[in-house]
Amino acid sequence: MVGDETIDSIRSALARGDLLAAYDEVTRGKKMGHQGLGYLEVLTLARLGDTERGLRLYDEYQLEAKGDVDALSLKARLLKDQAFAAGAEPNRGKLLQACRLYSAVYRRTRSSYPAINAATLAQIAGRPATAQRLARIVVQQVLAGGGQDYYTLATLAEAMVVLGDVEGADKVLQRATEAPDADVGSRSTTFLQLQRLKAVSRDAAGIEGLLHHVRPPKVAMFCGNIFVADPELEARVAAQVREIIQREKVGFAYGALASGSDILIAEELLAAGCELDVVLPFTEADFIAQSVAPAGDDWVRRYVSCRQRATSLTIASNMSYVGEMMQFAYGSKVTMGMARLRARHLNGEAVQIAVLESGGAGTLSGSDISAWQAAGGRSHVVRDGPLKRPVMPPPPPRSKVERGTFGIMFTDFPGFTTLDERVLPVFWDEVMHRAAVTLEDYSDVIRVGNTWGDALYVVFEDARSAAACALDLSEQFAKVDCKALGVPEGTGMRIALHYGATYAGYDPVSRRTTYYGTEVSRTARIEPVTPSGSVYVTEPFAAVLEMEADHPFDCNYVGKTPLAKGYGVYPLYRLARPAAAKVQAETRRRQRA
């Protein structure tokens, strides 16, 4: 049986647009033995954009047999989303396939929900007569029913848009947003639907006005200089931060909680009712010692207050502070990417709020602003000062061993240790030779590559190169002759990726440079829990990729996962290429060949 509390938790997370939390609740419910969570799991995957897995589970769970309008419409929604994910232009064939399925659901259920979706898709696919016929049916049905809930009114507004009555739609949509159930998740889906209609509308300006009503709250990444308490300065800065939060309609925020700017911004975000998600660069105790306590006990108290009211706490790296500014920069990069990921899930926008001392461009916060803007983000920078800095504690003794931040990959072939001795040469040709040929294409960005048995350990210059190589390897391994190896059909390499700081030192045993440290160990513990044929990446890796302009990858959330050897529980993502990117990658491989 399904637990009512579990259902409520999942729907609550979906309503506030926290899709990762919704998926975690689904996973938790399944582990508790609750049955009947299939629909909510697939719905969550649809909103996360993982349409491939959503469609597979839809069929596996036999959701069509439920027969209700929501379950029947869900497959059409997945097909619709696949059509829009196909490339710069939606796949017209898939649009029409989804349109036909929505139409069939409408004929079966007589519900306005599939009817309006069929109408919208017909409009986008260039079938205006069909679109208007269905839209008129929706208008008549909704007006006759007299419903005043959010989705009923939003459905009416969307039908009026298809019929060209944007002015009427504006009035209805405004009423919809005033309904008690007009939550963030609901408005977010309407916002996306209207954006898609806008792209094919003759009245794009009019639809842009409609978007104003349902635009999701913005996600803020916040940062700023550390300073000691100064009531007068804090009052000035707080007033400016407050005005930015209100003007930008911020609803969610990601950042650290260093003394001074960070905590001040966090306090204003909480006062405005925003969700606060704290991201620290390294262990919490070390962060407090380095970035909070030096400014005084009152800042520690304020840190604890914000921390207790925060929705989540993420430690970007479990390592201790080793005296490097690079560790703070790494934490900032992960924070920025997490904010952008959340904004993408909301179909919204991420902005940056920063407090910077005049002339502070050369500080870490100044670098954060530059990095955010280089990735195409908008920044709101409050400048004031001079700021009085605390006396910072001396950093811990630093090792002379070189350190850097890199993409880290571990792979393993399931069942290798049970292979018959006679097929090991076949394995070498089928698997390891493919690996060597693929890795050669990335030789200019590989720091080190090593192998033992069936395993690979590779360190890359950056996350993007690691992602591309891992997917190329996975696609090559999918061509392995499993029958010749005596393993189940479909067996493939498990590939794990992480992005983090490592030591680069001379290995006296192998007599070559090697890379080692906490982050390497973490990556090694991910590979054993990765399914055969999949590429799993950490949240920092997914966040860093999100900071790359137009990267050709999808990072699909798979939940909080216990790592091997009791290494802890971490949120993981499955790396994939969208269909259009797969074609481009295959073309590049052929050109290289």
| Residues 53-66 pLDDT 10s | 999 999 999 999 99
DSSP state, residue 253: E
pLDDT in the model for residue 593? 57
- Would you place residue 590 in the very low, low, confident or very high pLDDT band (cuts 50, 70, 90)? low
Segment 172-193 shows an average pLDDT of: 96
Segment 156-185 shows an average pLDDT of: 96
- Percentage of residues of the chain with pLDDT beyond 70: 97
Asked whether the domain spanning 402-592 has the same topology as the one spanning 67-214, the reply is no
Report field, pTM of the whole predicted structure over 0.85: yes
The per-residue b/e assignment along 318-355, b for 16 or more CB within 10 angstroms, e otherwise, is ebebbebeebbbbbbbbbbbbbbbbbbbbbbbbbbbbb
pLDDT in the model for residue 233? 94
pLDDT in the model for residue 585? 61
- Would you place residue 360 in the very low, low, confident or very high pLDDT band (cuts 50, 70, 90)? low
- pLDDT, one tens digit per residue, over 522-566 is 999 999 999 999 999 999 999 999 998 788 899 999 999 999 988
Asked whether residue 26 carries a pLDDT value surpassing 80, the answer given is yes
- pLDDT, one tens digit per residue, over 223-239 is 999 999 999 999 999 99
292 contacts 303 by C-beta, under 8 angstroms: yes
So where are the chain's domains? Answer: 67-214, 218-384, 402-592
- Percentage of residues of the chain with pLDDT beyond 90: 79
- Would you place residue 486 in the very low, low, confident or very high pLDDT band (cuts 50, 70, 90)? confident
Query: Is domain 67-214 in CATH 1.25.40.10, yes or no?
Result: yes
pLDDT in the model for residue 583? 54
Asked whether residue 579 carries a pLDDT value surpassing 90, the answer given is no
DSSP secondary structure, 500-553, as one string: EEEEEEEETTTTEEEEESHHHHHHHHHGGGSPTT-EEEEHHHHHHHHTSTT-S-
Measured between its terminal Cα atoms, the distance across the chain in Å is: 55
CATH number of 402-592: 3.30.70.1230
Asked whether residue 295 carries a pLDDT value surpassing 60, the answer given is yes
Per 3-state DSSP, what percentage of the chain is helix, strand, and coil (rounded to 5)?
55, 15, 25
Segment holding 255, helix H or strand E: strand 250-255
241 contacts 268 by C-beta, under 8 angstroms: yes
**What counts of helices (H) and strands (E) characterise the chain?**
25, 14
Asked whether residue 1 carries a pLDDT value surpassing 60, the answer given is no
DSSP secondary structure, 546-574, as one string: HTSTT-S-EEEEEEEEEPGGG--EEEEEE
pLDDT in the model for residue 157? 97
Asked whether residue 84 carries a pLDDT value surpassing 70, the answer given is yes
Segment 479-508 shows an average pLDDT of: 90
Give the separation between CA 541 and CA 572, rounded to whole angstroms.
9
- Would you place residue 80 in the very low, low, confident or very high pLDDT band (cuts 50, 70, 90)? very high
CATH number of 218-384: 3.40.50.450
| Mean predicted lDDT score pLDDT of the chain | 93
DSSP state, residue 358: T
DSSP state, residue 323: S
Give the separation between CA 316 and CA 330, rounded to whole angstroms.
8
Asked whether residue 588 carries a pLDDT value surpassing 70, the answer given is no
Task: Say which amino acid occupies 229.
Answer: A
- Would you place residue 312 in the very low, low, confident or very high pLDDT band (cuts 50, 70, 90)? very high
pLDDT in the model for residue 394? 84
